[in-house]
Amino acid sequence: MSDEKNRFIGGLSINPIFADFVETELLPAIGFERAMFWSGVESIINDLTPRNRELLKIRGELQSKINDWHKARQGSDWVHDEYVTFLKDISYLEPSDTFVEIETINVDAELASIAGPQLVVPVSNARFAINAANARWGSLYDALYGTDVIAEDEGRQNTSVYNARRGAAVIRYATEFLDRTLPLVGASHGDVNIYGIDRDEDGVRFVASHANGEALHLKSPAQFVGFKEIESHAQYLFCNNGLHIELLINPDHPIGKDATANLADVILESALTAIQDCEDSVAAVDAVDKVGVYRNWLGLMRGDLTANFMKGGKGIVRTLAKDRVYTSINNEELVLSGRSLLLIRNVGHLMSNDAILDATGDEVFEGILDAIITVAAALTDRRRDGLQPNSRTGSIYIVKPKMHGPAEVAFTDTLFSRVEKLFDLEENTIKIGIMDEERRTTVNLPLCIKAAKSRVVFINTGFLDRTGDEIHTSMHAGKVLPKGAIKEQPWLNAYEDWNVDVGIRCGLPGLAQIGKGMWPKPDEMLQMIETKQVHPESGANCAWVPSPTAATLHAMHYHAVNVQAMQKKLASRPLASIDEILTPPLGDVSTLSADEIQREIENNAQGILGYVVRWIDQGVGCSKVPDITDVGLMEDRATLRISSQHIANWLLHGVTSKEQVLSIFKRMAKVVDNQNNSDASYKRMSEDIDNSIAFQAACALVLEGLYQPNGYTEPLLHQYRLKKKRELAC
């Protein structure tokens, strides 16, 4: 931590570490003049901060009115029509009977017209950020061999040295995939002994040879789009449903030398897009942390970000993947990006950061700061040696989370316009991804899209935050059901369908993504394969996955489902029920036994502690956290929001007591400590529980959860993380 005092530039007080980053790294990279930059920043802050505050005040006022309405009706029967009328009267539910189609232009194909997996990673971690960018292409052989998709029975164990029997099972699985996706006329890919091409005056054609010598051809010859032949190996490129597949033929390869037709690997175009996250998966609480976030994003946009780490006792330097160069069937150069199209997720409207203090001495809203700095960094996105630009249309893609209703989307549109003017960008260069994860946005989604109709490139459901907001919004309405039962309530399916229905009616197909949420179990890939095809079948262009391996496996679903055709089919179905969406997941929990209540709270408490201890003590915003049964789950602030709000609701309505909750938290602290025994940097909570800042933070999230704005966890997490950083600095 620096002892240097803040620098005063105009009416702003600027943290010196942040100022140095801007003036010695960011501005030189984009060739922007210092005085003009700070003057523009100050103008944006001064003009937009009052409106930001006003919008947050409206959030609080609406929640207070909803709380009072529920309190006045405690003990009375639920009358849904009265509730809906009330929400309209207070302008929570805004009138809308039309669907305005978006007018977004200059959208890259990865967002506009191709369906595929989407990664979300903390941009604060350079290694993860690079891995996600490089996840555009992935080995299907590796993804199958290293996961539970291939069972470890009958001699197919995943051992430290190559297991030929497991490898054979991988090849069989991949062959079946090729037979479904790139079918041959009258034969299986398993019957091929040679892959190759024929050249004539009309161009290049793909051809294969059967083991009996018969020539084999694709059922759909147009699927073959390119090739690359270099001495001992060849790469044959195909396209299905807009996604590419490469067959790597190499007789000298450890796998290829023994494989049928020397097929050494099947490479799938996997994570078409990746969200580099400044928000829920990041623990950035001050100027120092934010500089780390911004520096990595700048490196991604410049193309020079690297990550150094040790693996297998060797030092490794990870860099961004080069583009993939082929020859097309017309004998022309065909260049495909080697990296995912990158979006940057800014923070929402709530939080502030000490990187800049305004003229009144208040911290600047972090969402305003993110918009300015992440756009500035994206200005370095240009064609460079071996790398196509991130956006080949010149657009900048920002995902905006946790907006409540159309007025907040309109505010973001205004913010982006101001940033465009600062950097002299064409209007609507900055595109927006609207996270549909707050109930006021869900029920007003057509108006939210209308408010940014020339910027929208993405809408996405987020079950986790959406559930947290559902619980908090209806906190005083009654007792919520156990978490497992909440997922089975009508509101959830209606919410997921409504997002697709509205997106289609607002003209997103062919111009923008309609997305679905995260697969939370990074080690359960067989289960993902068996269930996640429901997302493209639901009409979603993309769905989130937790790793590059998961992206490669999930890509198979988009080869099986033509999402564009599915969206056309779904366009004629009736709209999902807004009445179901507005039915809170309440119920009679009196039938639960004491043991069932205890287990529900234990499950929540263990998940809260497992995530919070890493956030507070180590500054890790997203990690694989073992649940109470030791199944690893990807956790971020959204999952934390559900668990903390759930216990807060049960405390409010007397399902549990403060004494019971604290007793459970103390016991679960020991469980979490034991689950982290292998982490040398881990500090056990249970050995000095009264002085454990992480334990205090976890308890505060529950005991103070009723009073947190919209049930968000950020204010308390930031407070306790800053306290921990001060302790570590002493």
Q: Say if strands 118-122 and 542-545 run parallel, antiparallel, or are unpaired.
A: parallel
Tokens of 198: 């024929």
Upper half-sphere CA count for residue 709 (Cβ side, 13 Å):
17
* Contact of 570 with 539, CB cutoff 8 Å: yes
Q: How far apart, in whole angstroms, are the C-alpha atoms of residue 335 and residue 327?
A: 8
Which among 166, 295, 345, 721 is annotated as catalytic? 345
Tokens of 196: 């190759």
The 10 Å Cβ neighbour count of residue 17 is 18
What is the 8-class DSSP label of residue 482?
P
- Quick one: CA dihedral 207, 209, 214, 220, positive or negative? negative
Q: How far apart, in whole angstroms, are the C-alpha atoms of residue 139 and residue 268?
A: 6
Could you tell me how many helices (H) and strands (E) the chain has, helices first?
26, 26
- Quick one: CA dihedral 457, 463, 467, 468, positive or negative? negative
Non-local CB neighbours of 547 within 8 Å, separated by 6+ positions:
119, 522
DSSP string, 565-583: HHHHHHTTSPPPPHHHHTS
Q: Say whether 636 is catalytic.
A: yes
Which among 289, 339, 636, 641 is annotated as catalytic? 636
- Packing angle between helix 406-422 and helix 366-378, nearest 10 degrees? 40
Tokens of 21: 């980053």
Alpha-carbon separation of residue 331 from 200, 201, 217, 326 (angstroms): 11, 11, 20, 9
Upper half-sphere CA count for residue 352 (Cβ side, 13 Å):
14
Tokens of 311: 């693996």
Q: Say whether 440 is catalytic.
A: no
Q: How far apart, in whole angstroms, are the C-alpha atoms of residue 409 and residue 628?
A: 38
Q: How far apart, in whole angstroms, are the C-alpha atoms of residue 465 and residue 495?
A: 13
Q: What angle do CA 200, 202, 207 make, to 5 degrees?
A: 60
Residues tagged active-site: 345, 636
